Amino acid sequence: MTPKVEVRDLRVFFGGEEALRGVSLDIAANRILGVIGPAGSAKTTFLRALDRMNELKAGCRTAGRVLVDGEDVYGPACDPVALRKRVGMVFAMPVPLPLSIYENVVYGPRLNGVRNKAELDGLVEECLRAAFLWDEVKDRLGGSGLKLSGGQQQRLCLARTLAMRPELILLDEPCSGLDPISTARIEEALSLLKERHTIVLVTNNTKQAARASDETAFFLMGELVEMGPTGRIFTNPSDKRTEDYVTGRFG
Amino acid sequence: MKASSDAFVRRLLLAVACTTVLCLLVIAAFIFKEGLPFLLKVGPGNFLFSSDWRPDSGHYGILPMLVSSLYVTFGALLVGAPLGIAGAIFLSEFGPPALARVAKPAIELLAGIPSVVFGFIGVMVLAPIIRGAAGGPGLSILAASLVLGVMILPTIMSISIDALAAVPQSYREGALALGATKWQAVRMVVVKAAGSGLLAGTILGMGRAVGETMAVIMVAGNAVRMPRSVLDSGRTLTANIALEMGYATGMHRQALFATGIVLFVFIMILNGLASSALKRRAGKR
Ligand SMILES: Nc1ncnc2c1ncn2[C@@H]1O[C@H](COP(=O)(O)OP(=O)(O)OP(=O)(O)O)[C@@H](O)[C@H]1O
Ligand SMILES: [Mg+2]
């Protein structure tokens, strides 16, 4: 089976600094890839390179190839706007748009031209349910998304990403700053979502990667040290540095 | 040493602040003392809503001036607000960052050009063009609106640029990550988030347009008549005060002070609106 995403010698530079140093890996469809590594190891940079969000930062340059379904994301034929409609991203800091809860969820579909009220209503309920947020907000969909708690905002951001029905979902530490209950809800949501989506989950919490992901990639200082089935990475890693990191003996 | 110089500076600043506030209070009190008795004697209704202004025979109706002021102010807004906000959006969202860095101080410099210069350009360039193209005297409400519209651009633009810069980058990224184009993100999210700041800039620009005198005297024509169209000559409240202050005595003089009260209240209301708009933005985050 061909992988959903193929990454080949991907490099990202900020000014003269090389933040991501030649990463190559494959992401299988309908799997959750966990990405772990210490702070500053370029996990976020890697994730943002997949849907061309890095280029919004001044002075950033990317080299190498990213193929999504065989299409070169950095090729001249690829429109980043169209790409980002297929690839959803949830940021490390939850930032609802300054709109109502309802409008946050339907923002993407509206951009795609969905106008039908019933369809949008259905989508809102479906996506909020999938993000395990529906019961908490169903009575105040018209209220501002900014007035939700941090954990609710994070799930709202997940819901608004789901509403675009992306093939690939990129999550950057979606549970940082969340309580264990909210974290468990998001992990539960992810395990259901992978039936229809491919997911990349960046996390600072190695236990979360062990629980939630099918495969795990370990990044260190901008390089991919090792990637493999999650069970093997956590029980029998082939690189000493990986072993040190997952057993908490790092540094 | 450190503590005592601190205390000294604090006392000095307090004294300066008190003096400033006191000055303003004295000015306000003076205007009200001169104008209020008149206002009560003639009656605010007669004063504001009669269009008969003949101070020498005891007729004090400022409606023509009031209407001219409104015309000129809203005309200026019609010119200045769209241009200013669009310019701010272009500079801060679409232009290269280097351009925005250079442009903002340049725009603020524009605010320092003496208004007589704007008036001069209006008289020499704009009025003849209007006369030639649309007829009428040239020196008109339209000319004043255009000149004022340009004059309030710096105010509107610089406050709008600040408002846009205060929108968190994460809003832009959030919208773009959902597949919005740059323009969609700006229109649907950034402008919305900056909305009250853009409004505040517009209101402050409006305040500037209401209060501007010199340029208006030079280009508006100053006829004491109810303007029938924007091509007509008109005299604004501020122009009326400036033009008649030199020789006004007695009731006439008081009438001008009462006009000052009207302007004062108007500006107060505008500033109140602007600061509540700005506060609303601060509260939203
Ligand atoms: N906008 C930027 N400009 C310059 N350097 C940057 C920029 N963004 C990231 N970097 C650099 O790239 C490197 C990788 O950063 P990145 O945010 O990808 O790390 P991370 O693994 O996500 O860390 P964390 O776990 O703290 O989120 C860091 O050394 C950082 O300093
Ligand atoms: Mg990160």
Domain ranges (residues) in chain A: 5-246
Q: Do B173 and A84 touch (CB under 8 A)?
A: no
Q: How far is B80 from chain A (nearest CA, A)?
A: 27
Query: Average pLDDT, stretch B96-109?
Result: 87
Structure tokens at B128: 């003849």
Distance CA A22, CA A150 (A): 35
Distance CA A13, CA A21 (A): 9
pLDDT value at position A142?
93
Report residue A109 CA to chain centroid gap. 19
- Chain B interface mutation, best of A90, A97, A144, highest count of B Cβ atoms under 10 Å: A97
pLDDT value at position A250?
64
Residue pair B44/B59 in contact by the 8 Å Cβ criterion: no
Q: Do B177 and A84 touch (CB under 8 A)?
A: yes
Confidence of residue B285 (pLDDT cuts 50, 70, 90): very low
The structure tokens 């969609």 sit at B184
Q: How far is B27 from chain A (nearest CA, A)?
A: 43
Residue pair A219/A46 in contact by the 8 Å Cβ criterion: yes
Point out the least confidently predicted range of A139-148, B213-222, B272-281.
B272-281
Classify residue B58 as left (phi > 0), alpha (psi -120 to 50) or beta: left
pLDDT value at position A229?
96
Q: What is the mean pLDDT of chain A?
A: 91
Report residue A50 CA to chain centroid gap. 10
The length of chain B is: 285
pLDDT beyond 80 at B167: yes
> Global pTM?
0.83
pLDDT beyond 50 at B35: yes
ipTM above 0.95, yes or no: no
pLDDT value at position B217?
94
Ligand 1 in contact with A41 (CB < 6 A)? Answer: yes
Burial class (CB in 10 A: 0-12, 13-18, 19+), A150: middle
Query: Which bound ligand lies closest to the C-alpha atom of A91?
Result: 2
Confidence of residue B1 (pLDDT cuts 50, 70, 90): low
Q: pLDDT above 70 covers what percent of chain A?
A: 98
Query: Average pLDDT, stretch B123-137?
Result: 92
Residue pair B60/B42 in contact by the 8 Å Cβ criterion: yes
What residue ranges in A87-132 does DSSP mark as E strands?
A: 87-90
Query: Average pLDDT, stretch B27-52?
Result: 91
Ligand 1 atom nearest residue A17's Cα: 5
pLDDT value at position A47?
95
Measured in Å, residue A14 CA sits from the centre of ligand 1 at 9
Q: Do B179 and A84 touch (CB under 8 A)?
A: yes
Nearest residue, CB atoms, A164 vs list B170, B179, B189: B179
pLDDT beyond 80 at A91: yes
Between the CA of residue A31 and those of A3, A161, A196, what are the distances in Å? 10, 18, 9
Classify residue A95 as left (phi > 0), alpha (psi -120 to 50) or beta: beta
Dihedral sign for Cα atoms in the order A220, A226, A230, A235: negative
Torsions phi, psi for A171 (to 5 deg): -120, 125
pLDDT beyond 90 at A57: no
CATH (one of 3.60.15.10, 1.10.3720.10, 3.50.50.60, 3.40.50.300) for A5-246: 3.40.50.300
Q: What is the mean pLDDT of chain B?
A: 90
What residue ranges in A15-165 does DSSP mark as E strands?
A: 17-27, 32-36, 60-68, 71-72, 87-90
Query: Average pLDDT, stretch B18-27?
Result: 92
Residues of chain A with C-beta less than 8 angstroms from the C-beta of B171: 95, 97-98
Residue pair B231/B244 in contact by the 8 Å Cβ criterion: no
Between the CA of residue A9 and those of A12, B35, B135, B260, what are the distances in Å? 10, 79, 70, 73
Confidence of residue A36 (pLDDT cuts 50, 70, 90): very high
pLDDT beyond 50 at B102: yes
Torsions phi, psi for A61 (to 5 deg): -135, 140
Higher pLDDT, A32 or B7: A32
The structure tokens 């109810």 sit at B226
Longest CA–CA span in chain A (Å) reads 56
The domain covering B48-284 belongs, at the CATH homologous superfamily level, to: MetI-like (1.10.3720.10)
Query: Average pLDDT, stretch A27-36?
Result: 95
Distance CA B76, CA B122 (A): 14
pLDDT beyond 70 at B180: yes
* pLDDT tens digits for range A120-174: 999 999 999 988 899 999 999 999 998 998 888 988 999 999 999 999 999 999 8
CB contact set of A112 (below 8 Å; sequence gap of 6+): A85, A164, B179
Query: Average pLDDT, stretch B31-55?
Result: 91
Q: How many CB atoms lie within 10 A of CB A145?
A: 24
Query: Average pLDDT, stretch B225-232?
Result: 91
Q: Which among A242, A158, A245 is positioned nearest to A201, based on CA atoms?
A: A158
Interface of A with B (CB under 8 A): 51, 53, 56, 58, 81-82, 84-85, 88-89, 91, 93, 95-99, 107-108, 111-112, 146, 157, 160-161, 164
pLDDT value at position B26?
94
Confidence of residue B114 (pLDDT cuts 50, 70, 90): very high
pLDDT beyond 80 at B2: no
Torsions phi, psi for A178 (to 5 deg): -105, 155
Residue pair B138/B125 in contact by the 8 Å Cβ criterion: no
Q: How far is A231 from chain B (nearest CA, A)?
A: 32
Distance CA A192, CA A32 (A): 11
**Ion ligand 2 nearby residues (CB, 5 A):** A 44
Domain ranges (residues) in chain B: 48-284
pLDDT value at position B281?
63
Measured in Å, residue A221 CA sits from the centre of ligand 2 at 12
